[in-house]
Structure 1
């Protein structure tokens, strides 16, 4: 999806675009929002990741240097999404493998003569909903020190105002960043844009994370909604929905057809 941004819209909103060095982004109301896109992970780096994750399995295409970064400049609060942290979530959660009849014939390619045991979640489903740090400028003349911290997300009953988001406001910035992808040997697709997973003929699993912040005020509040929806194709068929996997390529179109497994809303108050 390509979105054309009008210069007048940027000026009206008090925003400016960020460009250069492979970055795309926008600076607006005390926030810097940017995306970074690079090539697929090199084999040497992939081996390092396997050692760190204590696994011999990674998705076919890992975009290890891709990221989405949202930074509140005054407080130094930075929210970001990357592939390594997402795979850490996959490894820690360790869901059981999805049962696909033909899976044993294709998933391991190293020694076809040996019996294959699928003992890991080869769909690479992850509960990952973002990472957080605070950058502390200890000395304006010195380099910025970035410290990993546990941001104080609190469970809440508030919801993101989807109706307000649907209003006809100009889009000032849009981008989509792929963190990893695996074709599952033509049995479906596993795609992490922190958005969607599908295994054709067996299962549709949608894990969606959305963040929303209203600009303005000294202490911005970010709402984060996490929702896990899942259904088998058999259950969809019993409820009168089609079983053709091509119908379910758009996560927005299928979300309401899938029952909710987990839903949680949290908020983060930023102290500037």
Structure 2
């Protein structure tokens, strides 16, 4: 089955102690979507809901991080914030003839804006997320290096009744020196605003942590008159014109594995396989 030119696929890629899993499958059936919307206490979910798609990075000792549409939608504001209501009203006025305009001011965020940064995995062992002053070395990422694995997974998309787009996708590339991941929420409400929430994750193979950077950008369309409109539909191009509204810099520290690996601590000696 083809979706956006993609075939359904289920891929695993192993490198060092890591395994990347990318599952891409069909859009959820409407009955399943309705049931999920009810569970999540939301009036409706995105038109194209890839509820079974996932991108997961897991360490051989169990801890990791994954990206799913369901967890992302759990971070959507169930009670619309003031900014969003103002935006909805502005949009409603500009689209008063549209059938959707009557539904817009329901008590939920119809733009599906999410500040999701991934779901941490692990039972006893998990990443420890701490604020960091360290930044992702973008110059290093620009260096020409063999790409051993690349995948992009769409999590959801909605065309806001033909008045824009709201989408969430995640892509990863693995190089010999480490891996880089970008989770991007992109929102364009025609005539009203453009918003982008990006989460970047970078791991260098010799480090015992990952860097996670979250950046939220937003601009009213009325403030973008100097930008050629064709760029409005190109997230990579438009991002430089959108002022940053929030940034969160974190280090995802690995749980302490060093003793198990080196066998230094007598109470943590690895058990022989049965």
TM-score range, shorter chain: 0.7 to 0.9
Scaled by the length of structure 2, the TM-score of the pair is: 0.77
CA distance in 1, matches of 2:160, 2:16: 42
CA distance in 1, matches of 2:59, 2:192: 42
- Give yes or no for contact 2:217–2:245 (8 Å, CA) kept in 1: yes
SS in 2 for 1:174: strand
Which one of the candidate residues 59, 75, 80 is aligned to 2:66?
Answer: 80
Matches within 5 A, 1:33-52: 33-52=20-39
1:162 aligns with 2:153: no
CA distance in 1, matches of 2:128, 2:97: 43
* Unmatched 5+ stretches in structure 1: 1-20, 109-114, 137-148
Number of equivalent positions: 227
Deviations for 1:139-178, whole angstroms, at most 9, x for unmatched residues? xxxxxxxxxx874211111110011000000111111111
For 1:67, the equivalent position in structure 2 comes to 54
* Unmatched 5+ stretches in structure 2: 1-7, 170-182, 258-274
CA distance in 2, matches of 1:248, 1:72: 38
For 1:126, the equivalent position in structure 2 comes to 114
Mark the CA change 1:91 to 1:49 in structure 2 (over 3 Å): closer, same or farther.
farther
* Greater share of strand: 2
SS in 2 for 1:175: strand
Mark the CA change 1:92 to 1:160 in structure 2 (over 3 Å): closer, same or farther.
farther
Matches within 5 A, 1:196-235: 196-216=186-206, 220-235=208-223
- Give yes or no for contact 2:22–2:153 (8 Å, CA) kept in 1: yes
1:90 aligns with 2:63: no
For 1:253, the equivalent position in structure 2 comes to 237
SS in 1 for 2:153: coil
Deviations for 1:81-109, whole angstroms, at most 9, x for unmatched residues? 0011111001457442433121672327x
CA distance in 1, matches of 2:199, 2:96: 29
CA distance in 1, matches of 2:19, 2:190: 38
Scaled by the length of structure 1, the TM-score of the pair is: 0.77
